[in-house]
Structure formats: C-alpha cells, structure tokens
Structure 1
Amino acid sequence: MSNSVGAVIVAAGRGTRMGTAESKQYLLLQGKPIIVHTLEVFQRHHLISEIVLVTGEEDVERCREWIRTYKLDKVASVVAGGLERQHSVHLGLRNLKTAWAMVHDGVRPFVQEKEITACYEQAREIGASVLAVPVKDTIKQVDREGKVVSTPDRRSLWAIQTPQTFRLSELLAAYQSAELDGFLGTDDSSLAERCGIPVAVVEGSYANIKITTPEDLDFAEFTQRSRGEEES
C-alpha cells in the first residue's frame, strides 16, 4: 500500500479555444476519443493500480460506457467535476485509495511510460515532482501597459506539464489548506509549494502537448500517425 500509485485524470473542462461544439477531450483522434488515448497510457503502466476520471456531470455516463468498451478496468470511478480545475482535482483525489497520486490532464495523450516512471521515482526521492520542459523562447515580463519590466534568465525557466506526483495525504492537506484560505493556484504543485512540500522537476518531452486548439489537434494527428508507423 505504501508504494501504491493512483492517477486522477482531469477532463471536466469545456474549453472554447477549439472552436467546436464538442469538448476537446471528447474529439476523435484517429477514430478514438482523446480522453480514451490518455486513459490507455495509464491503464498500461505497471505502476498505476487505480484511476479516477473527473469529467463534466453531463459526460459521466458516456465516459463510463467508453471505459467498458475499451476495457479500462483500472478506472475505479468516474466523478463529476467542479467549477474550477482545482475543485475538480480535489474531488478526484478524495476518491483515490492509493498512497501516491498523479494528476494528469485528460488532453495530454502523448505522455510516455518512462516519463510516468521518472515522475514517480523523483517524487519518492524528493517529496513531489512535476513533468516539465525547458523554455525554448526568450520570456519577457511586462507591466499592465505592455512595457517590458525584465527578461528572466531562460535557463531557470521551465514550462510545466503533467503528470504531477505527490503523496496523496500531503496533497489532500494542501488542497484543504488552499480551500480554507480561498487560494486558487495555477496548478497542483503551486498548492504543494505553499505548504512547504519540496517539488522537483522531471524533464519531459515537447511532444507531450495539451490539446487545446485546432492546430494542436492537427499536430496530435501527425504525432499519432508517426508513432503508429514507428511501432509497425
């Protein structure tokens, strides 16, 4: 039990940037919903013993049907999310029964097995971990008028992805603290950081994109085809 790992897959958003009536996580990628591709990665991983899927209330039943259709038997429950991503994750965490928790975006179907393993191992060593990639572009900090305030050293900047991995009890405590204080973080690790939990960065891949725009979907189709050709 002390080494058991569960995953909360968050797919409760209704993003508008895709420009489609259907939520992005349910759009088809090579004939299969994006969320199913994501769930299958964690279903296959030997470390993962339990998955909780968090989705919109109106989508719970069809997600349960997909879980049966695609034989995703590690999915222990499908729960309806909250108003904000943070609320949705909290609801998912409350349904996990493992010692460790990974939180992952439902629209990141290209995370690799070795990245999941590395995140877990680093979290076990340091306390918590986040998958990330070094920032490629020069970043400018600007004020409200659009004037440049500073140019941070790019070598210290990382673009944060998921999964993010924590000891479940510690992350639940961080969420409870944030709720009591009315703090809304930008990601799960920001809640852990404010509670003093050390968080390590695990270098991931630029291919682990979050599919939010039509251009992302085009890239995802290309990536999926390329992976299929490599495996065949």
Structure 2
Amino acid sequence: MSESVEQHIFMARVAEQSERFRDMVDFLKPVIKEKGAALSTDERNLLSVAFKNLVSQQRTAIRTITAIEQNQKYAKFANGMADYKKRIEEELYRNCDEIINSIKNEVLVKASDDESRAFFLKMIGDYCRYIAESAKGERLEATKTQALTSYQEASGLAEKSLGACNSIRLGLALNFSVFHYEVMQDVKKACELGDKALQDALDKLDDCDEETFRDAQSIIELLRENLALWKEEEDGAGDQ
C-alpha cells in the first residue's frame, strides 16, 4: 500500500470517528481511483460506511418531513415543507448519483471476480433504491430500471459463486427483497425472494465457520422479521 493511500485511509477513519461523512467520502475517493476493485474487505466496508452515512441524514430528514406533512394541524405550512423537502431530496439525489458514478467508473470497470462485482452491483442497486424512495415520474422509472438490473446481475453472480451463508449474498437478498416490497410494491415477489434466501442459508448454516455463521445470523434475523411483517400484510390483504 502506498503511503498516500495509507494516509487517505487513516484520515477516512479519523473522519468517521468525527462523524464527518462528506470528508470521509472525499478522503476515500483517491483510494477508489488508485485501487479500484482491488480494495480489501476492510476498505470495502469502510467505503460502505462512508457512503451509507453520507445519505442517511437526508433519508431520515425526508421521512420526518413526510410524517409531519400528514398532520392536518400543519396544513397551512404545506408549501414551505414541500419546498424544504424538495431541497433535501435534490441533495440526496446528487450524493447518490455521485456514489453510483464513482462505483461504475472507478471500480466496476476493473472488477473481475464475482464476489467483488456482486458487492459493487448490490451497492449500485442500493443507491438507486434510495433515490427511488422519493423520486417521481421519469427519474423514478429510470432509477427503478437501473436498480432492478443491478440487483439481478448481482444475484446471478452471488448464486453462482458465493455460498448461501455468505454475507454479501445474504445482504443482497435482503436488500433486493426490500426493493421489491418498497419500490416495486410487489409483496409476493419480496416474500419469495426473502424465503428462498432464508431457506438456502438455514440449510447450510451448520457447515459455516464461526465468522460466517455470526455474520449470517444477523442478516437471517432481519430477513425473518421482514418476512413476518410482509406475510401478515399479504394475508390481511387476501382476507378483505
């Protein structure tokens, strides 16, 4: 590792501790440029933390404003809230587009092994999903298509090359099922995808080493929780 790359990674960790996530992303950009798909697992995880935290504030803010908008008590402030929410949405879109383009142009073009490609394709799917949470019209349709393509390609690679308990494969199934539920509004497909990933993982859980088992368990729990909620909703809809 070159001295400059080592320093950038160190400074990214300092920025993380300081909760300066824009700085964290900026420190990691030269690392992405130099190493591309050759990022280590630790560096990939660092990148995930930086990107996720960069947009989490905007996602939370949009959800908060949307909840306040539902309250009739504040109807007279509707225009002000709508303008403010739009401003935060544009900020979210800019950050997500920056992340997607960075992964496409600096990493994915250099990624040759299936695990690395699956990891970064999943990431593109995730950031398209974050845009799709609040986008409308043409932007929504284009983003949905891009997310679906990325998730599908990542899933094909993961199922071909990664074990059923691999955290990338499981995390991908979790996020892809959430995409079907939240963005595509397809509860049936979300349940099918989640169920398959859960069953495949449970069948192989006894064969895992300790670290894989530990990582898999936390994602399995999330899959179980989501499936319980979604199936209850699906059953409720069927009873009407």
| TM bin (shorter chain) | under 0.3
TM-score by length of structure 2 reads 0.26
Superposition TM-score, scaled by structure 1 size: 0.27
